[in-house]
Amino acid sequence: MSDPGANDGRLVRRIRFYWDSPVRKFIWDSLLRVPWLIAYNIAGSAVLVILFAFTSQGRDLLRISAERGFALADLDFLWNLVFLIGTLIGSLSLWYTSRLTLGVEYPAYPLDPKSAAFGRRWWPRVVGSLVPLAIGWTFLQIGSAAPSSETLLGWLYLGMGFALLLFYVARRPIFGVERDDMILDLRNAVPTEHRRRGRALLIAAFTLVPLFVIAPVLLPQLLGAPAIAVLGVVGISLFGTGVLTYLPMSNGAPPLTLAVLLLALVSGIWNDNHAVRVGDGADIAAQRPTPVEQLAAWQQGRAGNAVAPESVVLVATSGGGISAAYWTASTLAYLEQKFAAPFRERLFAVSGVSGGSLGAATYVALKRAGLENGQADALLDQVREVLGHDFLSPVVAGMLFPDLVQRFLPVPIGLADRQRFLERSWESAFDGEARALFKGPFQGLYSGPEAAALPSLLLNTTIVETGQRGVFSNLRVDGLPQVIDLLEPRYGLVDIRTSAAAGASARFTYVSPAGTVHVEDGEALRLVDGGYFENSGAASMTDLITLLVKNGVALKPILIIIDNDTTAPNLCRRDGSVDQLPSGERFNSTVSEVTAPAQALLQTRAARGNLAEVTAANLVESIGGTVIEVPLASVLRARLAALGAADAETIAAMESRYVEPPLGWSLSQEVREGMDNTLQNEQGGLDRQLRYLAIALGLEQGEVPPCAAH
């Protein structure tokens, strides 16, 4: 029989052997404890790698960079020049501060010099070279419309990454750098000269904060979103490594991360700087009509037209960021150009959500300006010009610089609000009278005689506290069920800017914050993206039609549904479409417990939008109306059809650019041109839909098959 005491002794010796083994010490010190000291730098590097290599928004930014190239026209070269320099400086900064931080011995965090030496040498080198390597590799994979620039930039960044790695490893013999081995000769503190350099890097990063506040649109658009993202993330990393980690630990104290998080939490009690932007208090609060009153006046003004007065065009347009805005505004302008007065004078109202609201508001503002200056015929080119601007760079600048600093200050600073950066960039994209209209009061769009020629707008947002729809409209919408009319005086938004009204509908987290509304009775409401309630805009349109019908209005609606989901199947079955099985991400039992609740909540958003579209379509057809679809999915269908018998890799590359467009505020030229060509040439099934519209408008003979929405 074995002796239990002997067994226990062998177990203890075995544990001690493994505990004292060099492999265990290497893993524990070099791979775990050393990187903890520079966790901010490692996290910053990882964030940038994930952004540019693995997200649709980051890859689209690289496509835009490739399209801009180094052309001198419009200062396009600055975008890539600053991106290159910013990536170089950022990579060197991550390496340098990591090396300095790991070159110090911390009494409260002892590391074995031998087992930690590998980590102390190589973590700074990896952190300081990974970002340009990832960017270069991604440039060579994205398949943009500018392959020569894409290849050049790809090899430039790969060359930068390998050159930096070579510099880190062999800088002394190659470049004659004086020996200063901070890894073998650990110090109690970073030398004074190195501390000065570290402070200079931090000051340089913080200098961008006031500069962006002063020039919230021009400066970010000159620098470009990729460079701003790199500089912002690197600045956060340097602050975390130098101020929150090195300074306290070198003085025997723990890192200040928890203290800073507590500061942000406490400051959050007072520092809400996201109030919805209003105008200068100009008295523009004319009495708004009810939908019934507006339609009666609208029909009376068109009684002599060839089309029957009860034939009314109504539009519901869904969310989807800048792609939704661009497609919505282009569609409305193209339909007006193609069908002229029969469409223009029949268009009564547009209900929009998120990017669809921005597109609708852009269309109306430019239409109003065109009526005043006699340039209404150029509407299609104008909407494409306005919405082709870079809106992402300003909001990224606001988010990573002034608005991030605001989170740690107990006093609200409105100029630091990142939503202000976004809305100001929209305003600056317009010229002349159109800019004044988009920057001015929303109700100002509908003042004066020109307002009679404009369609009504219903811009849908969601109220955080109640989950209800909030609507900005030139109509009184308090008669719609469970809808908050946000232009009622008690909400203090009577003179809300047009840009802010569209922005309130497009506040999707986390690019845009919830907007705060201070109510008369001292309470506050917060507004977020209208897609949280439903993402199609069809719910408000259904309620509007129902209200009109209940009030005895003679109505023969033509409902145009602009679905901005690039992969959505057709709503109507009229063209031989069949039921499709539910599709989505493949079931993964391993992570189902964690992901299923969040995934279900996200998917119900799209499902509610589809249900609202079906409800609206069925209602319209039940009262003798017509349903027309102008889906963004037509673009992908047209592009794939143009490829013909292409190989699987080419098709996958095309789908990666169109199937998952960024839900953000920038579009590559290739994607914009794809939308333009599809619409202009009526491809991807649009020819059939527009023929149905021509029949409904009385311009062609024929019969529109029932939609039979599903």
pLDDT score of 575 more than 80: no
State whether residue 271 is helix, strand or coil. coil
Please state, in angstroms and rounded to a whole number, the distance separating the CA atoms of residues 374 and 304.
24
In CATH, what number is assigned to the domain containing residue 361? 3.40.1090
Average pLDDT of the segment spanning 263-291: 86
Please state, in angstroms and rounded to a whole number, the distance separating the CA atoms of residues 163 and 498.
50
Would you tell me how many other CB atoms lie within 10 Å of the CB of residue 657? 22
**Identity of the residue numbered 495:** D
Average pLDDT of the segment spanning 304-332: 86
Considering the domain architecture, whether residues 505 and 436 belong to the same structural domain is answered as yes
For residue 510, say if its preceding peptide bond is cis, omega within 30 degrees of 0.
yes
Average pLDDT of the segment spanning 402-429: 97
**Cβ 469 vs Cβ 539: under 8 Å:** yes
Q: Which of 10-24, 193-207, 358-372, 440-454 has the lowest mean pLDDT?
A: 10-24
Query: Which of 412, 413, 533, 415 has its CA nearest to residue 469?
Result: 533
Please state, in angstroms and rounded to a whole number, the distance separating the CA atoms of residues 74 and 76.
5
pLDDT score of 182 more than 60: no
pLDDT score of 163 more than 80: yes
Q: Which of 54-63, 79-88, 473-482, 595-604 has the lowest mean pLDDT?
A: 595-604
pLDDT score of 111 more than 70: yes
Beta-sheet strands, E only, within 215-255: none
Examine residue 269 and state whether it is found in any structural domain, yes or no.
Answer: no
pLDDT score of 421 more than 70: yes
- How many domains would you assign to the chain? 2
For position 582, what pLDDT does the model report?
39
Q: Which of 270-279, 368-377, 445-454 has the lowest mean pLDDT?
A: 368-377
Q: Regarding predicted confidence, which is higher, 146 or 44? A: 44
Residue 129's domain spans which residues?
A: 37-255
179: left (phi over 0), alpha (psi -120 to 50) or beta: beta
Considering the domain architecture, whether residues 443 and 517 belong to the same structural domain is answered as yes
Considering the domain architecture, whether residues 491 and 540 belong to the same structural domain is answered as yes
Considering the domain architecture, whether residues 238 and 295 belong to the same structural domain is answered as no
Considering the domain architecture, whether residues 230 and 301 belong to the same structural domain is answered as no
pLDDT score of 192 more than 80: no
Examine residue 480 and state whether it is found in any structural domain, yes or no.
Answer: yes
Examine residue 262 and state whether it is found in any structural domain, yes or no.
Answer: no
Average pLDDT of the segment spanning 413-441: 96
Average pLDDT of the segment spanning 173-178: 64
Q: Regarding predicted confidence, which is higher, 189 or 534? A: 534
Examine residue 678 and state whether it is found in any structural domain, yes or no.
Answer: no
Please state, in angstroms and rounded to a whole number, the distance separating the CA atoms of residues 414 and 421.
11
Please state, in angstroms and rounded to a whole number, the distance separating the CA atoms of residues 395 and 194.
34
**Cβ 121 vs Cβ 183: under 8 Å:** yes
For position 262, what pLDDT does the model report?
96
- Cα separations (Å) of 119 from 24, 46, 178, 243, 689? 14, 17, 22, 22, 63
Average pLDDT of the segment spanning 511-530: 92
Question: Which domain-ending residue is among 228, 255, 282?
Answer: 255
pTM confidence score = 0.91
Considering the domain architecture, whether residues 351 and 246 belong to the same structural domain is answered as no
pLDDT score of 5 more than 70: no
* Average confidence score pLDDT of the chain: 87
Examine residue 418 and state whether it is found in any structural domain, yes or no.
Answer: yes
pLDDT score of 285 more than 70: no
Q: Which of 56-65, 307-316, 578-587, 648-657 has the lowest mean pLDDT?
A: 578-587
pLDDT bucket at 581, cuts 50 / 70 / 90: very low
pLDDT score of 479 more than 50: yes
pLDDT score of 87 more than 90: yes
Average pLDDT of the segment spanning 358-382: 91
Please state, in angstroms and rounded to a whole number, the distance separating the CA atoms of residues 60 and 667.
7
For tokens 């931080």, the residue is 101
Q: Regarding predicted confidence, which is higher, 624 or 567? A: 624
Considering the domain architecture, whether residues 126 and 229 belong to the same structural domain is answered as yes
pLDDT bucket at 583, cuts 50 / 70 / 90: very low
pLDDT score of 373 more than 90: no
276: left (phi over 0), alpha (psi -120 to 50) or beta: beta
pLDDT bucket at 3, cuts 50 / 70 / 90: low
What are the tens digits of pLDDT across the range 207-239?
999 999 999 999 999 999 999 999 999 999 999
pLDDT score of 512 more than 90: yes
Considering the domain architecture, whether residues 399 and 510 belong to the same structural domain is answered as yes
Please state, in angstroms and rounded to a whole number, the distance separating the CA atoms of residues 424 and 221.
12
Average pLDDT of the segment spanning 302-310: 60
pLDDT score of 303 more than 90: no
Considering the domain architecture, whether residues 228 and 94 belong to the same structural domain is answered as yes
Average pLDDT of the segment spanning 512-522: 91
Containing 74, the helix (H) or strand (E) segment is none
Query: Which of 646, 650, 641, 460 has its CA nearest to residue 536?
Result: 460
Please state, in angstroms and rounded to a whole number, the distance separating the CA atoms of residues 365 and 649.
42
Examine residue 530 and state whether it is found in any structural domain, yes or no.
Answer: yes
Q: Regarding predicted confidence, which is higher, 105 or 152? A: 152
The answer for residues whose C-beta is within 8 angstroms of residue 456's C-beta and 6 or more apart is 291, 294, 348, 349, 350, 473, 474, 475
Please state, in angstroms and rounded to a whole number, the distance separating the CA atoms of residues 121 and 128.
12
Considering the domain architecture, whether residues 295 and 226 belong to the same structural domain is answered as no
For position 197, what pLDDT does the model report?
78
Tokens standing for residue 263: 């500061």
State whether residue 58 is helix, strand or coil. helix
For position 38, what pLDDT does the model report?
96
Examine residue 700 and state whether it is found in any structural domain, yes or no.
Answer: no
Average pLDDT of the segment spanning 543-564: 94
Examine residue 353 and state whether it is found in any structural domain, yes or no.
Answer: yes
For position 502, what pLDDT does the model report?
98
Handedness of CA 7, 12, 15, 20 (dihedral sign): negative
Considering the domain architecture, whether residues 173 and 236 belong to the same structural domain is answered as yes
Q: Regarding predicted confidence, which is higher, 456 or 286? A: 456
Considering the domain architecture, whether residues 231 and 336 belong to the same structural domain is answered as no
The answer for residues whose C-beta is within 8 angstroms of residue 204's C-beta and 6 or more apart is none
Q: Regarding predicted confidence, which is higher, 527 or 656? A: 527
Q: Which of 256-270, 286-300, 446-460 has the lowest mean pLDDT?
A: 286-300
